[in-house]
Amino acid sequence: MRTRQTVLATAIALVALALPAHAKDGAILVQSTTSTANSGLYDYLLPMFQDKTGIRVNVVAVGTGQAIKNATNCDGDVLLVHAKPAEEAFVAEGGGVARTDLMYNDFVIVGPADDPAGVGGMTDVEAALDKIAGSGALFASRGDDSGTHKKERALWAEAGIDPTTASGGWYRETGSGMGATLNTGIGMGAYVMTDRATWISFANKQDYEIQVQGDEDLFNQYGVILVNPEKCPSVNAEGGQAFIDWLLSAEGQAAIADYRVAEQQLFFPNAPQ
């Protein structure tokens, strides 16, 4: 007959096996949009947070739609993405504890220097999309349900255009992340909508330029959410909340503001104070 101590040890071992690998050493897992990772922001921020708290942060960088699905499946402790309606739905459905604004930047439409649709310098994004569609100039979309793709679809809808009717024609859906879509778009001479942080950090610009920018409809808000430990008992709620609290603190917000690439600020903190 097994002793009580043996039973207890077995139970503890089974609980440990059930925990995600990142949780066993007190680390946390952030399900994140790609732009925050590809821009180098995490490489800049996470060592500061770890030095202050001793908590290691692992990041899974995918499109916002996939990040929300992963968090819904209890794979992660914190969700940091940029599609506010989807984030609010995630919280309303019990997947997250609360959603808080963290920072913002904006989207831009980039295109080749010869600008075949003649949209260069436009600040009305819906009018620019109408010109692109009307000209038949190529447009490369992520097509991956990311935050950028969600925003792009909303802008097409505002312009009264369903570009998917031209899928495979002038409208090309890559099903890829932002960097891969930029590479594909540049390779085919297509316009691409991207967040500004990714574009600033992107190395393969060739002759591409920002053609459309400055419309308030291109505003890009990021939010941060603790995955609900009541729904997902494996969540490292203490570590996840510590990370969120630091990001929202004056110190974390200042660190976000200080991050620059090519002497340009990529993200603008706007957490409620």
Res 23 pLDDT > 70:
no
Q: What is the per-residue DSSP string for 37-48?
A: HHTTHHHHHHHH
Helix, strand, coil fractions of the chain, as percent rounded to 5: 45, 25, 35
Q: Which amino acid is at 157?
A: A
Helix axes 237-248, 41-53, angle to 10 degrees: 110
Res 2 pLDDT > 80:
no
Domains of the chain by start residue, with CATH = 4-105+220-269 (3.40.190.10), 106-218 (3.40.190.10)
List, in sequence order, the alpha helices (H) in 190-249: 196-201, 237-248
pLDDT band at 211 (very low <50, low <70, confident <90, very high): very high
Q: What is the mean pLDDT of residues 143-164?
A: 95
Are the C-beta atoms of residues 174 and 146 closer than 8 Å to each other? Answer: no
pLDDT score recorded for residue 21: 47
Res 182 pLDDT > 50:
yes
- Report how far apart, in Å, the C-alpha atoms of 83 and of each of 88, 150, 206, 258 are: 9, 7, 29, 24
- Report how far apart, in Å, the C-alpha atoms of 248 and of each of 39, 46, 83, 144, 233 are: 20, 14, 18, 29, 24
pLDDT band at 123 (very low <50, low <70, confident <90, very high): very high
pLDDT band at 19 (very low <50, low <70, confident <90, very high): very low
